[in-house]
Amino acid sequence: MRVFSFVALTVLSFTSFCYAAGPVVLVKHQEQYNGYMKLPRLSEVVTTVNTVPALYWPAARLYKTDPESVNALELQRQELLKVLANLKQAYLLDDEAELAASTEALSQDVKNWVLAEQLFLALDPDKVRAKPALNPILRAGQYLLQVENRSETITVAGFAQNTEVQFINAADASDYFAGIKPLAGASSSFLYILPAAQQVIQAKIGLWNSQRQDVPAGAILYVPFEQRNLPSEFENLNQQVIELLQHRVVL
Amino acid sequence: MPKYAAIFYSVAFLSLAGCSNTVRTYTDTLKLAFNPGEGATLTKEQLADRKADALYATVGTLPRAQLALAYIEHGQYKWISADNAFLVLEHGRLVKTTGFDNDLLFVTGTDKDPLKQPMTKIQPGQQWQGATDWAVHQETGYKISYEIADIRVDKIELLDRQFDTKLVTELVTFSNGETAVNLFWFDLSSGLLLKSQQHIAPFWPAVELIHISSAARLMGIAKSGSRK
Amino acid sequence: MKKLYLSTVITALLSPVSFAETNQPSPNTYSQMTQGGVGLIQMPTARHNEAGSFSLNYQDSEEYRFWSASLQLFPWMETTVRYTDVRTQLYSEDPTFSGDQTYKDKGIDVKFRLWQESEFLPQISAGFRDFGGTGLFESEFIAASKRVGPFDFHLGIGWGYLGSKGNIDNPFCDIRDSFCERPGGFSGSGGKIDYQKFFKGPAALYGGIEYQTPWAPLLLKLEYDGNNYQQDKAGVLLQDSDYNLAAVYRLNDAFDLNVNYQRGNTFGFGVNYKLNFNTVKQIKLDPPAKEIPVVLPTATDSLDKAELRRDLYLNAGFLVNNYVLKDEEIVLKGRQIAYRDEAESINRVGRVLANHLPEQIKTYRIVTISGDMPMVETVINAEQFISAARYETPDADVKTSYQRVEPEVQNENWAVERDETGFGYSAELFWIQTFGNPESFYMYQGGLFLGGVYQFNTNFSLQSTAKINLLTNFDQFNFKVDSQNTGVPRVRTYIREYVTRSDVTMENLYGHWKDELADNWYGQVYAGYLETMYGGVGGELLYKPIDSTLAVGLDLNYVRQRSYEKELAFFDYKTFTGHLSFYWKPQFLDDTMITASFGQYLAKDKGVTIDFAKRFDSGIVVGAYGAFTDMSAAEYGEGSFTKGFYVSIPFDLFSLKSATGRGRIPWVPISRDGGQMLNKPVSLNGLTEDRAPFVR
């Protein structure tokens, strides 16, 4: 009796597999793939990988990696690179070689970013399971779920030589800035913090405006260009970089 | 005498529109403030019938709430309240909350927690350090250190029965220098944690937890391990 | 057993108006100066707090006591109102009038941000202190502030009281001779803005340093005073030192305490209560909004109508007046009584409906009524709503599933046969208060308004309100009418007679007719005893399109003054009064409503009343108004023209359950017989608030 039903089940699932021609949602986590034949709720996806207590969910990021999503970001990247090239030209015309070099350095950096569409959703399984509003059904497609142990480093992007700094306990954004080697033209008044799945935070770190702002583990720090160094037609440059940086897959 | 008239017609109406419905809203609010409920108490029968384990939680001076065991995942016991807030315990220690005003997101270094050991091996002088991460203002990495200061035998009464317990007194030091005392009562015969009083931050009131289902199980009135 | 809402109750009881406590002290707000408003001790700075910041202050410094309230109305504008108690002077020389009460004065300050601080440039502000009054502290200033680490440096130029030291030449004096001398006295009968004095006469340079100590709660201040205290209301004050010192201790997020040492010889202290009108909120213990079941009911036959209405009332705060269930849609008529946020209201109503109605009901039409007139219809696409409410996509938002439209409910086949004829009643609390009276600084009267109504049909009714005083100290009044006889009809200044005649009075008794005359047009007519002081007939017409930024109303009334001696009697005074009113929400100022009413007032003066109201995110509304008429300041008397302020506070900021009611606290510094409008028993603009919500 048991055997029969087992066989029946296998056949059934096999047929449905053939019919659907593969899972509708495929989630990659730490080089493993989890497929879902039916559109899953977020809680199913996050609990599946929640196997050890050391996973640090506050820094978890969920990316949609389908070609459509990635292509849209690729266009955005090309736009940004064009802007940066123009800015560099403008600096060269003004004999601002150092600023042009900084712009070029950021360009190179942006070219190397791995991009995927970050979804701004709370991912902690305990939060997601407790509240229906935090537990939506995901759209069909391919995803990348990044959740690791609490990171010992903070990623740095923008007008800085460093690509990362050591995580510091209970530190203010300005403590991190002290460990960053800024490129020429970088702001010494502001630092942007990009926590996982949250809005960007503008930290005030200058002598004239400093205000306490902690940096969460797993965040990305963006060192912006000092606003007064930007010609007026490039005044939104920092915002443009941040918009793209939100969708950078930090490896 | 111009001054005489100065504040003359400043008679002004403070009108309270909204009438009976509003009055009722206020009465309800006052009732809640002065009598937020009697606090949870389960009878032995209720404990025997329960599908999920129960935990009493008292925060500060509030009446105690009753939580249900929702998940056991990789050594973490996750207790849920009636309003879907979670208290997550690891070896009896509160290591995470969700649904509160300022949630504890994570405690690092719990692998060195002496409470991980069998009850008999917990000794004075054992210590460890961790760091806590909080939800509000992205506060991350606030140090907290623990040292077991005292061990003694104590009796506690639960469900009308006296339990002989090992009382572990732990000294907690927070990053701002403030200190607090944590207490853990383990059943002497089984080593199960029956009760604790814990502090997770200087700004969080003391949390008292009573593992009432464990007590019931030791008394033979509840079935073994169960969750929601 | 009673369920205990663990997390919410904890939060609620720990901090009634909640702040999340954290490891780090919360960002500091700039502290208040002695007279209220952000500043050093006596001297104002260029600093502004965040928009919505409110501070209630008490400050004691020997000769003076100050009660003040300061509000950051916009990021670039701070306003302060203040009562001053001059300890060395009597209220009046006449002890039968004011006993041994000391001198009281009112003042208003305003400060504008002109330039924001950047890395190398300072913040710059200009301000006006105690303008438009008897002007004890009348001054103007321009100040600059620059921060370097824990130090905040300030430099300013003061004119008037702040500049009385005269340690520099008035820079404007070089440009125009008229700026060299400051005109004396005040114009009209006080209470007017004396533009002709601004930035004139002696000027003084002042400055100061604030130091944020490493210990977060403690802030130190040092200032160089621009005042020489030779012309103070309190008398000449001895100045042993040009420097004043202060220490501010931040007790917590809500309270600042300060002590200061002024003029080298005087100690002072004060306390400030801080709140932010944008962010203040209250924990709510409302029932959770309904979740939508996986399987919807299959047919309308099984619909339990009583339960549907009960759920709508208890879970969605929606009081159903009537409904009609059709093949593919439901039309609900009623009003929201608990959830003042529209999105919350519609979300809850939609969820309750989805719990009770089968899938073939494709549209939920929710008609909000006010006084039985349909105001607005919210059309919910049920399928989209349910999908979003089940969170079927990561970016699900129920707000995209509905829209507000003109109600289309002329000939519906309503399910319930309603008898529109009948009696109704209501009860409302009231509290009348007045500050700074000669008899006693604070005077009050509290009690109940009991309302009765007989409705003939949805349009026509007979209404009456009785006022019952329960608590009052108005018996301390030692005169009922002021002695200022300027020849202007006493249309409002008999107020003390009216409020003290009897503990039970008939506030109003009138017949009332109202209707929606055409799309967007509303009308009302009323006749009878209309308010405390007037009876007569009147009508109003209002044009108010849905969600429009402009509404226009016209009211015309013929009224006669009621007697304060006999309940039903009238005095001889009669007049036409009426106004053409524009209610405008300008797009360039967020959450702001400007009302301009042109017409003839009760004392037959003609002019305009301008009312400016700003709504903060918490729902608190703060407003100011002034009436500018052809009555001269001399005729008007003390104060020169009618003006006032008000704060309207949603009740549920103080309760653990949501509610839609509001309380309005007015502050009328001076108000006499000019620029006085009739208090219409019903305001059409208020009645039709739902068509284009401002207050919410």
Q: How far apart are CA A13 and CA A21, in angstroms?
A: 12
Q: Is the CB of C10 less than 8 angstroms away from the CB of B33?
A: no
Kindly give, in sequence order, each residue whose CB lies less than 8 Å from that of residue B177, ignoring residues fewer than 6 positions away.
none
Q: Is the CB of C432 less than 8 angstroms away from the CB of B12?
A: yes
Q: Is C392 on the interface with A (CB under 8 A)?
A: yes
CA distance, residue B224 to nearest chain A CA (Å): 24
User: What DSSP assignment string belongs to chain A?
Assistant: -HHHHHHHHHHHHHHHHHHHTS-SEEEEETTEEEEESSPPBHHHHHHHH--STTB-GGG-EEEE--HHHHHHHHHHHHHHHHHHHHHHHHHHHTT-HHHHHHHHHHHHHHHH--B-EEE-----HHHHHH-GGG-PBPPSEEEEEE--BPPSEEEEEESBS-SEEE--TT-BHHHHHHT--BPTTB-SSEEEEE-TTS--EEEE-STTT----B--TT-EEEEPBPGGGS-GGGTTHHHHHHHHHTTB---
Cβ–Cβ < 8 Å for B14, C663 = yes
pLDDT band at C694 (very low <50, low <70, confident <90, very high): very high
CA-nearest residue to A136 within chain C is C391
Q: What is the pLDDT of residues C91-145, one digit of tens each?
A: 777 777 777 788 888 889 999 999 999 999 999 999 999 886 677 899 999 999 9
Average pLDDT, chain A: 90
pLDDT score, position A20: 45
Quick one: chain C helix, strand, coil %, rounded to 5? 15, 45, 40
pLDDT score, position A13: 35
* Region A11-29 average pLDDT: 61
Q: Both tokens of residue C29? A: 């707000």
pLDDT band at B11 (very low <50, low <70, confident <90, very high): very low
Q: How far apart are CA C546 and CA C693, in angstroms?
A: 9
Q: What is the pLDDT of residues A66-82, one digit of tens each?
A: 999 999 999 999 999 99
Q: What is the DSSP letter of C190?
A: B
* Region A118-137 average pLDDT: 95
Q: How far apart are CA C194 and CA C487, in angstroms?
A: 25
pLDDT score, position C695: 83
- Side-chain-side CA neighbours of C341 within 13 Å: the count stands at 11
- Chain C partners (3+ C-beta pairs within 8 A): A, B
ipTM of the assembly?
A: 0.86
Among the residue ranges A13-17, A73-77, A138-142, C423-427, the one predicted with the least confidence is: A13-17
C residues 153-182 closer than 8 Å to A (CB): none
Residue with the bigger pLDDT between C478 and A108: it is A108
pLDDT band at C191 (very low <50, low <70, confident <90, very high): low
Q: Is the CB of B85 less than 8 angstroms away from the CB of C9?
A: no
H/E element, C556: strand C550-562
Q: Is C2 a residue whose pLDDT tops 60?
A: no
Kindly give, in sequence order, each residue whose CB lies less than 8 Å from that of residue C643, ignoring residues fewer than 6 positions away.
C191, C624, C625, C626, C627, C668, C669, C670, C671
The alpha carbon dihedral of C371, C373, C378, C383 has a sign of positive
pLDDT band at B25 (very low <50, low <70, confident <90, very high): low
Three-state SS annotation for C235-282: CCCCCCCCEEEEEEEECCCCEEEEEEEECCCEEEEEEEEEEECCCCCE
Q: Is the CB of C117 less than 8 angstroms away from the CB of A170?
A: no
Dihedral angle computed from the Cα positions of residues C316, C317, C322 and C327, in that order, rounded to the nearest 10 degrees: -10
Where b means 16+ CB within 10 Å and e means fewer, B33-45 reads: eeebbeebebeee
Q: What is the pLDDT of residues C59-68, one digit of tens each?
A: 998 899 999 9
Average pLDDT, chain B: 83
Q: Both tokens of residue B135? A: 């939800």
Residues of C in contact with A211 (CB under 8 A): 27
CA distance, residue A244 to nearest chain B CA (Å): 22
pLDDT score, position B38: 55
β-strand partners of C423: C454
Q: Is C182 a residue whose pLDDT tops 80?
A: yes
Q: Is B162 a residue whose pLDDT tops 50?
A: yes
* Region A32-49 average pLDDT: 94
pLDDT score, position A26: 92
Q: Is the CB of B133 less than 8 angstroms away from the CB of A58?
A: yes
pLDDT score, position B29: 57
Q: How far apart are CA B5 and CA C102, in angstroms?
A: 16
pLDDT band at B41 (very low <50, low <70, confident <90, very high): confident
DSSP, collapsed to helix, strand or coil, labels residue B107 as: strand
Give the closest residue to C66 by CA, choosing from C99, C98, C37, C100.
C37
Q: Is B19 a residue whose pLDDT tops 60?
A: no
Q: Is the CB of C6 less than 8 angstroms away from the CB of B101?
A: no
Report the alpha-carbon angle C381-C382-C388, nearest 5: 95
Among the residue ranges A68-72, C7-11, C432-436, the one predicted with the least confidence is: C7-11
pLDDT score, position C255: 93
CA-nearest residue to B6 within chain C is C638
Three-state SS annotation for B29-73: HHHHHHCCCCCCCCCHHHHHHCCCCEEEEEECCCCCEEEEEEEEE
Q: What is the pLDDT of residues C604-626, one digit of tens each?
A: 999 999 999 999 999 999 999 99
Q: How far apart are CA A169 and CA B145, in angstroms?
A: 14
Residue with the bigger pLDDT between B17 and C542: it is C542
Q: What is the pLDDT of residues C407-416, one digit of tens each?
A: 988 788 888 8
* Region A76-91 average pLDDT: 97
The alpha carbon dihedral of C655, C656, C662, C668 has a sign of positive
Q: Is the CB of A136 less than 8 angstroms away from the CB of C291?
A: no
Residues of A in contact with C147 (CB under 8 A): 207-209
Give the closest residue to C478 by CA, choosing from A202, A66, A51, B8.
B8
Where b means 16+ CB within 10 Å and e means fewer, C155-174 reads: bbbbbbbbbbbebeebebbe
pLDDT score, position C20: 67
Three-state SS annotation for C621-681: EEEEEEEEECCCHHHHCCCCCCEEEEEEEEHHHCCCCCCCCEEEEEEEEECCCCCCCCCCC
Cβ–Cβ < 8 Å for C600, C580 = no
User: What DSSP assignment string belongs to C395-459?
Assistant: T--GGGGEEEE----SS---SS-----EEEEEEEEEEEEEES-SS-SEEEEEEEEEEEEEESSSS
Amino acid letter, C147:
R
**A80 vs A44, A76, C265, CA distance in Å?**
36, 6, 64
pLDDT score, position B24: 57
Radius of gyration of chain C (CA): 29
Q: Is A4 a residue whose pLDDT tops 50?
A: no
Q: Is A21 a residue whose pLDDT tops 90?
A: no
Residues of A in contact with C27 (CB under 8 A): 211-212
Residue with the bigger pLDDT between A58 and C672: it is A58
* Region A2-7 average pLDDT: 35
Cβ-based neighbour number of residue C380 at 10 Å: 25
pLDDT score, position A15: 35
Q: What is the pLDDT of residues B166-208, one digit of tens each?
A: 999 999 999 999 999 999 999 999 999 999 999 999 999 899 9
Q: Is B12 a residue whose pLDDT tops 70?
A: no
pLDDT score, position C183: 81
* Region C236-258 average pLDDT: 93
Q: Is A23 a residue whose pLDDT tops 70?
A: yes
pLDDT score, position C506: 95
**A4 vs A8, A13, A14, A17, CA distance in Å?**
6, 14, 15, 20
Q: Is C181 a residue whose pLDDT tops 90?
A: no
pLDDT score, position A14: 36
